[in-house]
Amino acid sequence: MSRSERFEGGRVEIIFLGTSGSMPTSIRSLPSVVIRREGRVFMFDCGEGTQRQLATAKIGFNREMAVLISHMHGDHVLGLPGMIQSMALLGRSKPLKVFGPKGLKGYLKAIDTYVPYASNFDVNVCEVRDGIVVDDPEFRIEAVWVDHSGPCLAYSFTEKPRPGKFNPKAAARVKVPEGPLWRELQMGRAVTVGGRVVKPEKIVGPPRPGKKIVYSGDTKPCPSILRLSKGADVVIFDSTFDESRTDKAKSYGHSTSKQAAVIARKAGVKKLYLTHVSAIYDEEAINDLLKQARKIFPRTYLATDLLRIEV
């Protein structure tokens, strides 16, 4: 890979660690999804067994990481103490940032009081509301309240606009040597070569929108998740039940796969991944959820444990 190709922006990968809802099954763990970008890890929810899935996926326990919890139901948060303990046993040294709704601090404090982490790294817990949770020079993470049986957040991970596509041939024509000057141009800064000023617009295309990924948490269809999902490259959505259990989904604060597909279609997303599937379905029945969704939104896919996709 040439230097110019490395300038094009961060590689973004989604890894599904757990895709079941409420209870694990023989082939599906409890909810946890990782976004990995240029060595940094962002974990959305941390159900029981996440530490094992993290090891199986070979993600690493000492990476720079932030954990974002959607809500304080056990299947989304009970894996967090065990993962922290495993990180400590493996000698983690980097701080761990944990974001989530009210109650998260008290929960982790209670666990640490009676089952001490014995950690040699800082666990920084931040209870959040809606709005921007992380504002990095290269991306932002936003939270919105959604409609579940208790306070629950959905999150979006959005890269900020990326530099335009670099044209190596154009750089060669104006005799800009490969190396640091190429990066300066890619970053939108003019360079001087042999007494000449070379402006970036001669070499680099217009800025490009960053990638956007949305994680729904548990939710019924609601205006906030529709707004958050607008124009996303990937939406990962609560699809606990099939269409025949629409009333049950509503009473429990969940969505059907068909309802997830309607949100995806209205929001104009590129791809929809169904997750948080109820343990009442065997794999054959789960395929029926996929078929129901694809009638509404053809670019729907079924998330499975340890599935990796590049955005």
Question: How many other CB atoms sit within 10 Å of the CB of residue 167?
Answer: 15
Record the tokens describing residue 97, joined without a space: 């940032």
Answer with the residue of higher pLDDT: 37 or 187: 37
Q: Report the chain's mean pLDDT, rounded to a whole number.
A: 93
Q: What would the mean pLDDT of 51-58 be, rounded to a whole number?
A: 96
Average pLDDT over residues 181-210: 88
CA 144/CA 255 separation, integer angstroms: 17
Q: Which of 45, 75, 147, 305 is catalytic?
A: 75
Separation of alpha carbons 240 and 260, rounded Å:
10
Residue 208, pLDDT score: 84
Query: Rounded CA gap, 174 and 186, in Å?
Result: 15
Confidence of residue 310 (pLDDT cuts 50, 70, 90): very high
Report the predicted TM-score, pTM, of the whole model to 2 decimal places. Answer: 0.88
Q: In a 3-state reduction of DSSP, which class is residue 147? A: strand
Burial of 310 (0-12, 13-18, 19+ CB in 10 A): exposed
Residue 195: alpha-carbon gap to chain centroid = 46
Q: What is the pLDDT of residues 89-139, one digit of tens each?
A: 999 999 999 999 999 999 999 999 998 876 789 999 999 999 999 999 999
E strand intervals along 1-137: 12-18, 20-21, 32-37, 40-44, 65-68, 96-100, 123-127, 131-135
Annotation marks residue 136 as catalytic: no
Q: What is the pLDDT of residue 10?
A: 66
Domains of the chain (ranges; CATH) run 3-162+208-310 (3.60.15.10), 168-202 (no CATH)
